[in-house]
Amino acid sequence: MPKIIGIDIPGKKRVEYSLRYIYGVGLSRAQAIVRQAQIDPAKRADALTGEELTRITNLLQDGYVLEGDLRREVAQNIRRLISIGSYRGVRHRKGLPVRGQRTHTNARTRKGVRKTVGVVRGKEARAAVKSEAPAEAKAKTAAAPVKAAAAPAKAEPKAKVEPKAKAEAKT
């Protein structure tokens, strides 16, 4: 496995495809790099000489923002959008799709696993929910005595006291 810019690239693949393992290098950029470095595109990464690896490394370092720098730049851009309160920043903060995709259905990658809200349909599902509820209630009551001991006991509500003016008017 040859190492380019600190990243191991697969040696058994062609050079233009193994370069794609570097963050920030896609197919078209990899093909351009191979062309600029004057390397045979059919050559495997294991077959690259030290000089060819050096040419590829120099091209990548001089011409492109890659790996950690690129990740940092993207993260800073997202943080900037969030801090200025733009629509895209709000969507990032809420974890929703940013580029106008629908969310009524789909968008599960950004929204995560479904959280059922409302009615549970089906006898088996309802039974499962009912069996979970007492367990949660027991867990809450087990923690409740600690809070109850710390809080003072509530006094009974006082009888309603009428103002003097109203009391005198009635007599």
The pLDDT tens digits for 125-135 are 878 877 876 66
Note whether residue 144 is domain-resident. no
- Angle at the Cα of 106 from the Cα atoms of 105 and 110, rounded to 5 degrees: 125
Provide the token pair at 86: 């733009």
- Residue 59: CATH number of its domain: 1.10.8.50
Query: 88: domain range?
Result: 68-100
The pLDDT tens digits for 127-167 are 887 787 666 666 666 655 554 455 555 666 666 666 666 55
Quick one: 56 and 93 in the same domain? no
Does an H or E element contain 133, and which?
A: helix 123-150
Number of domains within the chain: 2
Q: What is the pLDDT of residue 160?
A: 64
**E strand residue ranges, the chain:** 3-4, 7-8
28-37, 82-91, 100-109: the lowest-pLDDT one: 100-109
